[in-house]
Structure 1
């Protein structure tokens, strides 16, 4: 088991972020820059602003700016990147269970993922920097495991061009992403009189005006980076992870520099990780009162929300945007 947080001399990461040392330093910054950014309201009380071509939730903008300017990577950092609602929670769980398996064997009954939400184990740097709490990252032992929703173009240059820091990116069939985002909106909706409909979300998405959109720009940032530097950027597809989770965990472990051994595989390590991080297992955990992190977790749910005409229209937009990239996202 990992050492108790606080005994930094022998602490080895990753450790659950919620168990790490906390230090708060909230701050308000960048007000003048943010005020000048283009803005739209996509649903009642929810403002988005455009920064360097990306549409960001207003509450996240200070964090993105601060992340760009202040973040200092360590050579063994791992950053999990994704558009929202594309398998982020699952990827966090799989990555944490894989990297921390020496301290926390996935078959143990007291594994952190059985008592903590994966978001408590792997911090969202966008949120930390938004709250002025980035010093919490300094307390984490190496290797640090973090995640972000920002476009590749918005990453700090120190991350995008660091020879050591690794990035694991996961994307999802865009129509399913929209449906999952819609489920998330509905589950977190308050009685604010909002009349924001799925059709509204769809129309905004067709224009690229959704959370951390446009989706095609998000994908087209990380895809070529994975092709140019496959040792630094691993590009995953949610649907392929669903079809063959064992092989994807094996590839994830190899990429992260902790490949599974013949002995570990014979003992069922990969199966234990997949079972521990199974969507139903995580959803059943008492750490998951907010089930919107997992809607259905399946591929193809878009057919229950989109007309054939809507699907055809969105497919055409995405295919046009991805044309020439060598990437095809199966519907």
Structure 2
């Protein structure tokens, strides 16, 4: 076992040896420019193994997101919608399990242990298999991109995304590290240096694919989902091939799912108040902050608004993807 761990560590070092490196947001590991995106050093080998060994099935559902864009919410919704005829709302897995446990990150399924055993485990999971990922679209495994599996992508207004990311990383940082200042984090964000960034190329990768293959990739904005959740829950059901019947709608199934997956409900559940999860042993309570849109106004100065607005306009120009202008 020790020799296997040592071999994996050596493989990870070889993988990062020639890559450009930058400081991470209040984390001890660096970010590496891997396949044109900033991959956290702690994740890079897992992403590489995921690309090499994951075998997508036609019935798979992949919930993709840029970090701190509503990931846990869309995971909960995708799980509840996909299984709305399987579980009752009164005795639902989301009441006793964190969404990250029910919809695991694909990258992390290949983080350690025997590869063949991991592949066999994934192959034997009940269908439809529902996974999450932060990996940019161009870097997804070939089988995921070329199969008929469905991808739901959620993004968030870059202004709110920045605030959510900055506050989150400072919460989960090791006590031995100094908190990253807002000014320092903002400069890094404007340069695209953030876990799985640049954020604009991450968004555009999934956006362009959703335009080219709307039957393959469903592109959602956090703000739109907040504004009309019922409409989008119905659309997600149709996209995944498990639409709600008229009787289910009359019986309040959609409203029940919205309430079950709401920020207020999930934050208040005991399973999300205590305990840790993930490779970094992150406290579950740290995944729930405010769940609001427009909170950026409490953090941004006028020069920050001007600078990020120009970057958003420049990076997304001509793509058809846009966010509400700030001035």
TM-score of the two chains, using structure 2 as the length reference: 0.89
Shift of 1:44: 5.1
1:111 equivalenced with 2:99 (yes/no): no
State how 1:256-267 maps to structure 2 within 5 Å. Answer: 256-267=240-251
Runs of 4 or more above 6 Å deviation = none
Give the corresponding residue for 2:277: none
Match of 1:169 among 137, 153, 157: 153
Alignment check: 8 A CA contact 1:168 1:236 kept = yes
- Which digits, 9 at most, give the CA deviation of each residue in 1:204-224, with x for residues without a partner? 011111111100000110001
Supply the distance in 2 between the matched residues of 1:295 and 1:263 (Cα, whole angstroms): 35
1:148 equivalenced with 2:133 (yes/no): yes
1:311 equivalenced with 2:295 (yes/no): no
What RMSD in Å do the two structures reach over aligned CA positions? 1.6
Unaligned runs of 5+ residues in structure 2 are 275-283
Supply the distance in 2 between the matched residues of 1:193 and 1:248 (Cα, whole angstroms): 41
1:51 equivalenced with 2:40 (yes/no): no
Greater displacement, 28-37 / 61-70: 28-37
Give the corresponding residue for 1:38: 20
1:88 equivalenced with 2:71 (yes/no): yes
1:249 equivalenced with 2:233 (yes/no): yes
Query: How many residues of Structure 1 are paired with residues of Structure 2 in the alignment?
Result: 304
1:329 equivalenced with 2:323 (yes/no): yes
State how 1:18-29 maps to structure 2 within 5 Å. Answer: 28=8, 29=11
Greater displacement, 300-309 / 253-262: 300-309
Give the corresponding residue for 2:106: 125
Unaligned runs of 5+ residues in structure 1 are 1-24
Supply the distance in 1 between the matched residues of 2:19 and 2:108 (Cα, whole angstroms): 19
Supply the distance in 1 between the matched residues of 2:27 and 2:240 (Cα, whole angstroms): 41
Structure with the higher helix share, 1 or 2 = 2
Alignment check: 8 A CA contact 1:93 1:113 kept = yes
Give the corresponding residue for 2:47: 64
Q: Secondary structure at the match of 1:264?
A: helix
Supply the distance in 2 between the matched residues of 1:76 and 1:266 (Cα, whole angstroms): 28
Supply the distance in 2 between the matched residues of 1:31 and 1:196 (Cα, whole angstroms): 26
Supply the distance in 2 between the matched residues of 1:40 and 1:153 (Cα, whole angstroms): 21
Supply the distance in 2 between the matched residues of 1:330 and 1:71 (Cα, whole angstroms): 37
Give the corresponding residue for 2:123: 138
